[in-house]
Amino acid sequence: MPEHCTKETCPISDTIYGYAPQLAADTAFLVIFAVSMVIHGIQGYRYKTWTFLIAMTIGNLCEAIGYGGRIMLHSDPFSDSGFKLQICLLTIAPAFFAAGIYLTLKHLVLTFGPAFSRLRPSRYTHTFISCDVVSIILQGVGGILASIASQPGPLMTSGNDTMMAGLSFQVFTLLVFGLLTAEYFTRVRTHRGELNPATEPLRASTRFRCFLVAVLVAYTAVLLRCVYRIAEMSKGWGSTIMRDEDLFLGLDSGMCALATVLLNAFHPGLCFGYSMSKTGEVEKLGSADSERGPVVAGENEEEAA
């Protein structure tokens, strides 16, 4: 933010964003992410999807606090604290949603059959979560550097470049994830008669098909958000894109809210927590370290995601 400026002494156009964030919109998104976080907590406890719970909780918490920062900017567009909160937390939050999405692929592979996968199911989790951690670190460091800078200059430029690197790496990771997923399901389609018979009832269920669509839409939403932020950052601080609040609300706020709400409505625990077998017995699918598919109730059960 410009040094020595206050809302009494400088026009709003002198701020980096060039506007005072909308109170109603930012309050609405704060509530959406806070409620989603609570629901994810309840669902995670119910279905014992601890890793997924951690990813979605951190993501939603960052979003909620970040929108608290934007509410502070509504009251005072020159608020240094508000700027720091929202630039740091809203930048890294979607990476945690991406982590939640990455966690689902292992269990999809176990459901259809590991034989058609290029990688062992557990390696999807290890590989993509590791990449996600790298992108979070880069974006976080970039956000901190940008928030320390009081106005556009070398330090803010360094922060911008670091965030750009983190966002670009995140988009690259998302695209590789999408390609591997598409390749896997192409193989599945050509080997329909060889799919895991133990999970046929689940695969045929409406809830599982809805879950697949929800994950696809959530993935697309997070990817679009990241592409938007790269376009925004590439133009520099105070750019036309950065000063377009409607664009931000649609392609950042809206996309992130869509992703987390869909993963509430079609939580992976609904599919990979418990499913009814043909005989009516309860099965728990894909333990955390399993590479062999369903684990029948009564065996050693671990987390589903």
- Tens of pLDDT, residue by residue over 53-104, are 999 999 999 999 999 999 999 999 999 999 999 999 999 999 999 999 999 9
Architecture of the domain made up of 19-187+197-296? Up-down Bundle (1.20)
Domain boundaries, the chain: 19-187+197-296
pTM: 0.88
Tokens read off for 65: 């606090």
**Confidence at residue 10, expressed as pLDDT on a 0 to 100 scale:** 85
CA distance 222 to 167: 11
pLDDT tens string 207-257: 999 999 999 999 999 999 999 999 998 888 888 999 999 999 999 999 999
**Confidence at residue 301, expressed as pLDDT on a 0 to 100 scale:** 37
Q: Which residues contact 110 (CB under 8 A, 6 or more apart)?
A: 121, 196, 199, 285, 286, 290, 291, 292, 293, 294
